[in-house]
Structure 1
């Protein structure tokens, strides 16, 4: 893997070496000459890296040389980052005021003279290694290349949820599947209560896309009372599939789409199957089981027997890559999805490679495009990916390069399209390739949030501003937009206020695994050992963990547990990791079952992200955790037994996101006031909290989530001057009007989500302070809400208003037509109000007829919005 990321890593290191922080620190530690020597040598080496990458396939020795360059750069970064940590600690001591001696003692475990000697020795060794490797590179005859010509411009983005018009060549397939679904008794195994239609084809053909087209066809809404979508993916876990079906059925059912879903994980299989059969009984349903991989017939028959309930005419669509699975599961002949015709492939290619109508100006490129399309073998994903890679690039040689590149000759499995994807990957800018590789650490069908990728990429220093000093969340969004423009992402949803989520296509995930091998490793039951060069680990199975597995590796920077329910339960293994991997940047121990966290956690001075969420045993945290001055993300969400927050929390001066569950009744306000970089704060299941803050000013906070805090009485919005996003969910005693400023108090709020607020008969007056900024307002399950105030119509920037399950709400403000920015209005679960808003006949129709998108009691829209809310919350938690 080293040859693919060395340029980005070298550039990152050079950027650090050139900074004033490193310059001052190197003088203070008397290693300035050696640091400058590293910088000079690395600058020379960087000049030939592009040429080395181009020639690596022809010269095997070059691949090893590039690997050595990468390793020495990463080792240098580990050592040099110690400068930054020492600088942050000095800031803490300096800012501590009267407690300076106490704080100084807290950090006094390291002898300064010994530390100076140790760092000087390590820097000299790095310089020696780099000089030797650079000298070895002379034998390859490399040339200096100053520009990376592989850069591809970003195309304009759209954010439509389902764009049926963008699907080319599948109309006949869609009608064929619809015909099968509408047949009263299709031929099969004689079981008229359950018909299973398999959709089979190789990866990337568009099986899921076709299933979505069918699923969202209006004719299906008329035919089926319930429509249920379940992504099964790799593991055919009957328990989890049942839970997904129940939840999806709840979202699909009229009038209950936004009801709070119960926690089904605690139920045993007998209780689950009973809930499932009750949910499906007397209902005619359409169920999509997407992406089946398991050929275990016993499991399928067990699930199928549970699904044989409800009305006659139930249908199941199954998508799979395997003909064997299709034959096993189907009650009718499998529908084999073929590749697109050459004509349709070319149409799709032109759509992605040119702006509309622009292809007529470049007939020579279109001819080359025809040859490129032939190599894609009718697979839409390959066509879209290659078309995107050439968008706005009219260089004839570049098009020939794509057509003739030897990557097509790579050995591959039958029907694999890795060459098409790999070629587009190779054309990525170097800074984007390393970011892309991190997707391999997560399971297929993982829902990524903006916070998830920003935390991970940011922790490893991958988010570098191309212009000026942009915020890392903005840079992360630029990277995501570019990956999306190259067709590497799917199911992208922009939820506003800088909140978004997406998934990675299965084939793209396979590509990430392919290019990440060696340094990014997924640990499962098949893993026999961890290679010594590994730097990033993702653990996906509990049974795969043992001390013996990790004995060779020393350079690990990342440990993740990305799957719900999978976590570490061995405190000795955790101690080994913390002791051995002193350069860890990311340590995510979610869903672990440990009672204590080692005091040595404070020695991980490079740590940027620490996740302990959903640990149900831990009661206290070591105070040494507050030595982690580089820490930017700390999650204690779901730590239901945590009695108190660690003392010295205010010393985490770099902290940006903090998610808390605690039994503590009073928060240390002075500590929170010291967190000057904190922009996201979450309190969930903090049952003893009556007040958050009374006097502390959180001047940088932008996102606040309070959920299931049963004793909370008020919110201190007047001390949150920069708040942009507020979620209030199931805080039953909360009075949103208590202890808040007057309506004249100016707010910056852009998104407000109120859910299960039983004390609210109307909206709180302070919302008027956001009249010039509020863009999205969501009101859910507020049983006492009776009226929307007239001043709501003065929200000049309000784009989206969703109201669900507020049965006492009878009317809208009279001046709804004044909301000229309103584009999206959805109302359901408000019987009388829905009646008044009926198109044409409703008395409020004239108030709202100007709104571009509106839905009144539409189940399909409810389901979409339910998914959006769930993913919006996911963003805050990831």
Structure 2
């Protein structure tokens, strides 16, 4: 039934389906109360489908059960109604003595098995009662199953246009668009006011999705000249999918006056010049609505005003143009960025603050990728972020040589961004969009064909559960093939799947013996690139011969062995066997106490060793000779071209082997070592002095025996280290001194968390490029700060972008107390703060842009800030004792004070004693404590 199928198509179809049933039933069943109850319960259906639209059913069995109960109840009611209509049709046919039609209906009647209309009526009544009960059950269970759906309901119905609000504050770096920005600023009359300022004028920015229309509008609004010109009259409203003039006026009023929003509140807003941004307009069907809206604006704007409208749809701009005099309308067609700025934007997100010249080969590939993007900022930003930190040339080339929409990871990230646009479509268009997505690009279909089609959603692992999967000999992927001891599910099903490229084999403990394992013939699958062998955690002891017989083809690139409880690795994991292995993960092999050396794996770039509690060492050459029976000529224990090395939960491992110079990411977590590993002292025939280490990210966590970083960080090989993270290293006492830190000229971010014995930050002031410093739960540092003498006049030239601490007393330790160029201060205060650290703030006020305090429960007042010209945002949380505000910084853009007393909240409303201090702040949110 179409209406039953619509349960999975969205509320635009389901609600009409139930309404249709109710209307058809009214004349047949005298129980009007039942029909009325069904109509009243439609909001439950909307809430359920809101959750389904966000794909909650796959991960939420309870919600899935409710959805299926609803579908079955609707189908049952429809079948009963169809039966009654069929009996009516049959009776009519008999009366007309239409033999051919009667014959046809007789054949159909066998399907329904209904004797008379009275029984059919009872069936229909029973079906409606069942539907009523299902909706009752949905209403009771939905808050527990999916709370956000319930909170969605009324707000969504009352004002769908308010679902998404684009931030007014620009949070991204802009490349290009200066010409367009200048054109808009010139149109605004900021620099050269003219007679057009006395009239209501509108500029429409029209462009395809992802071209940066909203970003350009934000770029203009945050220009200092624009802000000064319009004072506090810059108003932002998201038009979204429903264009209702009254709703939009209410939103405009609310955007300016947070405490009193009404449909007739424009007169107090538009008495002076103003800039109104209408973002993402989509409704072009009702030009009279635009006329109604613009007439309201004109009526309340005697001094004129400016409206900046962004839209993807050219007919929207045309509809608005028809309501504006020619000399008051401007249209800006926003195309793609030029090649130079597209590349700059891509490089900014792909390489961060690193110079692309540091990765010359990737830079060349990046230039070719940027040319494919056709100037689209969304694609440049999304793909750049996707590749950030990824130095695998193969991955970059994959994106270069394939259509963007065919690269799974990139396509997923782009879809997340575009989903906002999808949710702004009307419900009817969303349903159409989903149906149309069934067809491949450029496929020609007939409308009647599309309506007939169904779309089936299946988890990726569903195909793998099909019995006798081995009959599908052309399969390329099996994501989660669960081995069982029953026919049709044994591992031998893999034998004839010669074209497999990826297989994840679960429950390998169910392989009966090594003969059965050998019959899977994994080594004869030359196309196999990804293999994962996973054992269940509660398995009995394993026969080592089974794993030895599960030998893959030597061209394998990606190998995972997980949960195996045999005593040693398989013989085929010896280094000479694999010629193309790139990724190796060994996880949960709890009985392994040693590993073979990996030095022969020349192609291996990513190595993960996790949950190997008995592992004592990664073997030397002598171990490899004894166990594997080949002569070792490689002095390296780790692969020479390794990029990523992760070791976690290996408490028996007392030391790590020497690290290759190619390594870029090192993550050590819960390892029983007392010192960090060293770099290799040889590079084959090349001299070490001619080779630079590539290590850029070092994470060390929960290494309770680690006392010092000396040795490793003192080497010459940490020159390109950019990120250092130290977490739960409880025995660590101090950081390296200034002479060691000075060599780390590219270190940008340091994170220190729960290092309880740390008493000194060492020579941190020598890090000339440090941008982010985060310190939390380091109690000894706080204690040390209380014993330090007063700060000296000597300042440090550290230019921190962000300083994040959890105790304001840390501002008294060296070198933090000498900072004077900090841009952002975040104090996630555990203790109650009674006053702001005024001395430190004054020391940094010429550069400080953002202040955030999480727990200001004892804070009674704020210092005078009217001369803090660089401060753009201030957030204070939990401020019940704060009674008044000082003069605010002149360029403050965002002020957020929550948890304040009711008195302060009242005085900050329009007309209150504090209103004059905050009325010019663009985004101001002051909320009382509940």
* Same fold, judged at TM 0.5 (above): no
- Per the shorter chain, which TM-score range? 0.3 to 0.5
Larger radius of gyration: 2
Q: Compute the TM-score of the two structures, normalised by the length of structure 1.
A: 0.43
Q: Comparing both chains, which one has the higher relative contact order based on Cα–Cα distances under 8 Å and sequence gaps of 6 or more? A: 1
